[in-house]
């Protein structure tokens, strides 16, 4: 099978997946798939249309028909820029709720696989290595302690001028972890053949270096 190469980077919220994915993709000159953004777009579209987060049939139909585009770092829904709107916590929580429905996951499956274009893809999510790209050449599971992930998020929000409480963030992160790991379909867990990287005490640069070393060991060109 001469498939376009894929590196999958799965892990919990706040593990640094997004940043690491962008850096690894830039190194190779490959495409990026931010699968969480797709779940978030569907959540926003459903919210705007008044579809209940339990209406699996309507959500599946919407997932199949969603007019979403990723252009120049922007996320467009029916042509409108929703890059900022999908990042709020309400949309994130709605996304994680509808992501537990098998019909939604199935409805978004092919859309995610369509990102596998030459010369290669780095895919960021929760089930990239276990479900969507089960035949990926390199699978990484990136994690960090809940406290460290909350601390990173806290600094990010504080620097952006928001007033936030660290204990509240630790609680929020724990709740989201529980929802994502506890669900029946495509729960968050490392693939059997994944390289597990704990970034609690590593810098972003060190994480990227490790991933590039694993990629080289697998003969991926860069």
Binding of residue 125 to ligand C5P (CB under 6 A): yes
Binding of residue 16 to ligand C5P (CB under 6 A): no
Of 148-187, binders to ligand C5P (CB under 6 A) are 176, 180
Separation CA 137–CA 129 (nearest Å)? 10
Binding of residue 33 to ligand C5P (CB under 6 A): no
3 phi, psi to nearest 5 deg? -85, 150
Separation CA 6–CA 53 (nearest Å)? 31
Binding of residue 40 to ligand C5P (CB under 6 A): yes
User: For residue 141, what are the β-bridge partners?
Assistant: 10, 196
- As a 3-state breakdown, the chain gives helix, strand, coil percent values, each rounded to 5, of 50, 15, 35
Q: Taking the complex as a whole, how short is the minimal distance between the CB of residue 145 and ligand C5P, in angstroms?
A: 18
Q: Taking the complex as a whole, how short is the minimal distance between the CB of residue 216 and ligand C5P, in angstroms?
A: 26
Separation CA 122–CA 144 (nearest Å)? 20
Residue placing its CB nearer to ligand C5P in the complex, 27 or 179: 179
Angle, alpha carbons 196-201-206 (nearest 5°): 70
Judge whether 220 and 120 are in contact, CB under 8 Å: yes
**From 124-132, 142-150, 167-175, 206-214, span contacting ligand C5P (CB under 6 A):** 124-132
Residue placing its CB nearer to ligand C5P in the complex, 160 or 219: 160
User: For residue 196, what are the β-bridge partners?
Assistant: 141
Binding of residue 116 to ligand C5P (CB under 6 A): no
**From 47-55, 94-102, 113-121, 191-199, span contacting ligand C5P (CB under 6 A):** 94-102
Binding of residue 13 to ligand C5P (CB under 6 A): yes
Q: List residues binding ligand C5P (CB under 6 A).
A: 13, 35-36, 39-40, 92, 95-96, 99, 125-127, 176, 180
């Amino acid at each position: 099978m001469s498939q376009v190469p894929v590196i999958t980077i799965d892990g919990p919220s706040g593990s640094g997946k997004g940043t690491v994915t962008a850096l690894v993709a830039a190194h190779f000159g490959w495409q990026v798939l931010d699968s969480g953004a797709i779940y978030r777009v569907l959540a926003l579209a459903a919210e705007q249309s008044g579809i209940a987060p339990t209406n699996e049939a309507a959500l599946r139909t919407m997932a199949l028909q969603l007019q979403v585009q990723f252009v120049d770092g922007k996320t467009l829904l029916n042509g409108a820029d929703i890059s900022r709107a999908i990042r709020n916590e309400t949309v994130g929580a709605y996304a994680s709720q509808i992501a537990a429905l098998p019909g939604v996951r199935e409805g978004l499956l092919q859309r995610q696989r369509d990102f596998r274009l030459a010369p290669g893809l780095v895919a960021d999510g929760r089930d990239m290595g276990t479900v969507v790209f089960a035949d990926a050449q390199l699978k990484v599971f990136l994690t960090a302690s809940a406290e460290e992930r909350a601390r990173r998020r806290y600094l990010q929000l504080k620097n952006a001028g928001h007033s936030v409480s660290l204990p509240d963030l630790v609680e929020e992160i724990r709740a989201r972890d529980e929802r994502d790991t506890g669900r029946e379909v495509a729960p968050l867990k490392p693939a059997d053949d994944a390289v597990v990287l704990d970034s609690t005490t590593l810098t972003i640069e060190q994480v990227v270096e490790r991933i590039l070393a694993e990629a080289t060991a697998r003969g991926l060109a860069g």
